[in-house]
Amino acid sequence: MKLYIKYMVSLRCKLLVKAELENLGQKKALVELGMVELFDELSRQDLELLKANLLRSGLELLDDKRSILVEKIKNIIIALIHHTDELPKVNYSDYISEKLDYDYTYLANTFSEVKGITIQHYIIMHKIERVKELILYDELSLSEIAFKMHYSSSAHLSNQFKKVTGLTPSFFKQLKQKRNQNLESI
């Protein structure tokens, strides 16, 4: 039995879901981002209890096929951008299409209808969030971040960063430094 869970995007979410399943007596389960594979069936009552408990924690059990497909797309993008060190050299559209074994046009149309934004916009938003993390870690130069995130240049990264956040990467970095200085003076 497979269950799909919305907003399950971190290790903490996975641990929470595992704990909820164990409370229901489900000792054997494969828990991945956005998906749980149970080896034993859940009763209707236990399924409703799991749904209610997850909802209290900000997670949502999905049962609509389109929502499940959109959640799968989102989880692939999040895992790819936030949880891998090396982004693949292929186009995101090819990668997502291959992973889900669907035509990309179908995936893109379904995603846009359900989420109200394009897959490409969703990818850009997550790439910029990842860039923010990398800037805050202060281990890589902007050129190295641009290369790591597959931007054609640091100028392209800077333009996209400013378009999404309203700030330049260097100003964003200065804000972090000013915040740290203010915290030290307390």
* Domain boundary, last residue among 38, 63, 88: 63
- Domain total of the chain: 2
With respect to residue 84, please indicate whether it lies within any of the assigned structural domains. no
d(CA 184, CA 186): 6
pLDDT at residue 156 is higher than 70: yes
Domain enclosing residue 59, as ranges: 1-63
Please tell me the predicted confidence (pLDDT) of residue 122: 96
Mean pLDDT of 81-90: 78
- Rg (the chain; Cα; Å): 19
pLDDT at residue 89 is higher than 90: no
Q: In this predicted model, what pLDDT tens digit does every residue of 19-75 receive, in sequence order?
A: 999 999 888 889 988 889 998 888 899 999 999 999 999 999 888 888 899 999 999
The H-or-E segment that residue 29 falls in is: strand 29-32
With respect to residue 14, please indicate whether it lies within any of the assigned structural domains. yes
Please tell me the predicted confidence (pLDDT) of residue 182: 59
Please state at what angle helix 65-82 crosses helix 119-137, rounded to 10 degrees.
30
pTM of the predicted model, to two decimals? 0.74
Range of lowest pLDDT (14-28, 145-159, 171-185): 171-185
Mean pLDDT of 155-177: 91
